[in-house]
């Protein structure tokens, strides 16, 4: 089986970009080890701190963030990093050409129950003439030169695109290397599976309420087929299922908190996942526009997300088109 770095070189990926991806895989291996040690390493449970999002941090949130931050800032090819766990960007002492945004440990509420979690990352080129400000990162998702995630489950897997195919690499614990296990991910156009947090149903806008109601009516309803619902409470895990076998994932606008009507972050979650989904043949929208076309106005901006099998995303967007935006 091919190893990660030779596979990238065979694609004629630049050595500087390969170096950044290599740094991420090194951090991922260490995070994977800490996760699989669990209570033996004393890394379970929560801290007493909150991140910039106002969320209580798990111990491994802090560990994973520090690992990625330290290693990336040491890379000669990284100019700055932005993390879901950091208040603002951190500029490297090096003058690299790349910017890296990441969610160090997505789905961390699953850690203490031994559920799947993951790391999501996005790589951008540093704009010419900008060296220190957050505006460097405020680029649309279609400007990403690479994106991916590492899912820490029964196996540790990296799903990666450098703008071409979406490939799957699996960590072989016996040699300590990510090996190519799937050359090209292809998401089926249609599906009978959807993923949504049903506990928020009473807070949804009309489009999502109507869409899900029709799904639940099954073969006796307007969709004329039965759907199954899946929800893993970790975007990485839910998206990985879609990359593997299709489906629809959505975390839409809701009315629980008018100051935070959206859950998922554009730069750390929505944009990198949207690039992977599109490169695998699916679609990704905020309900009203393509996610990869959205220009961030803030490094911690949140957006609605509808992504997955292309035909099912189109069907969901038909419901949105019948209503005005709730925001």
Binding site, annotated residues for Mg(2+): 84, 103, 105-106, 269
Please name the helix (run of DSSP H) or strand (run of DSSP E) that holds residue 5, with its range, or none: helix 4-10
Q: Could you tell me the end-to-end alpha-carbon distance of the chain, in angstroms, rounded to an integer?
A: 49
Annotated binding site for substrate: 106-109, 197, 263
Contact 158, 148 (CB under 8 A): yes
- d(Cα 166, Cα 103) in Å, to the nearest integer? 19
Residue 167's alpha-carbon distances to 147, 271, 278, in angstroms, are 11, 18, 13
Q: What is residue 254's DSSP assignment?
A: B
By three-state DSSP, how is residue 225 classified? Answer: coil
Q: Which residues contact 6 (CB under 8 A, 6 or more apart)?
A: none
Annotated binding site: 84, 103, 105-109, 197, 263, 269
By three-state DSSP, how is residue 274 classified? Answer: helix
Residue 7's alpha-carbon distances to 1, 18, 45, in angstroms, are 10, 10, 38
- d(Cα 27, Cα 271) in Å, to the nearest integer? 21
By three-state DSSP, how is residue 263 classified? Answer: coil
- Helices (H) then strands (E): counts for the chain: 7, 17
By three-state DSSP, how is residue 148 classified? Answer: strand
Of 311, 307, 301, 295, nearest to 141 by C-alpha is 295
- d(Cα 7, Cα 71) in Å, to the nearest integer? 22
């Amino acid at each position: 089986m091919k190893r990660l770095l030779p596979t990238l070189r065979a694609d004629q990926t630049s050595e500087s970009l390969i170096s950044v991806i290599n740094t991420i895989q090194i951090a991922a291996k260490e995070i994977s080890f800490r996760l699989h040690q669990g209570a033996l390493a004393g890394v379970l449970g929560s801290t007493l701190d909150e991140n910039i999002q106002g969320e209580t941090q798990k111990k491994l949130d802090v560990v994973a963030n520090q690992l990625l931050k330290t290693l990336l800032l040491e890379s000669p090819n990284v100019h700055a990093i932005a993390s879901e766990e950091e208040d603002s960007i951190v500029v490297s002492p090096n003058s690299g050409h790349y910017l890296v945004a990441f969610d160090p440990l997505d789905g961390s509420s699953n850690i203490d129950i031994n559920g799947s979690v993951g790391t999501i990352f996005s790589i951008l080129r540093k704009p010419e003439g900008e060296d220190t400000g957050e505006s460097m990162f405020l680029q649309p998702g279609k400007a990403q030169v690479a994106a991916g995630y590492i899912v820490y489950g029964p196996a540790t897997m990296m799903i990666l695109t450098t703008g071409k195919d979406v490939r799957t690499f699996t960590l072989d614990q016996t040699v300590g290397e990510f090996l190519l296990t799937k050359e090209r991910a292809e998401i089926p156009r249609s599906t009978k599976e959807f993923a949504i947090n049903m506990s928020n149903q009473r807070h949804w806008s009309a489009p999502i309420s109507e869409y899900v109601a029709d799904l639940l009516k099954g073969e006796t309803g307007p969709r004329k087929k039965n759907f199954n619902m899946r929800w893993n409470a970790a975007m990485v895990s839910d998206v990985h299922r879609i990359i593997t076998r299709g489906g629809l994932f959505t975390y839409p606008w809701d009315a629980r908190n008018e100051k935070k009507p959206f859950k998922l972050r554009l730069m750390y979650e929505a944009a990198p996942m949207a690039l992977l989904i599109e490169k695998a043949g699916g679609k990704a929208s905020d309900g009203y526009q393509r996610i990869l076309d959205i220009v961030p106005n803030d490094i911690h901006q949140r957006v609605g997300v509808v992504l997955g099998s292309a035909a099912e995303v189109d069907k969901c967007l038909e419901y949105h088109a019948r209503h005005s935006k709730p925001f």
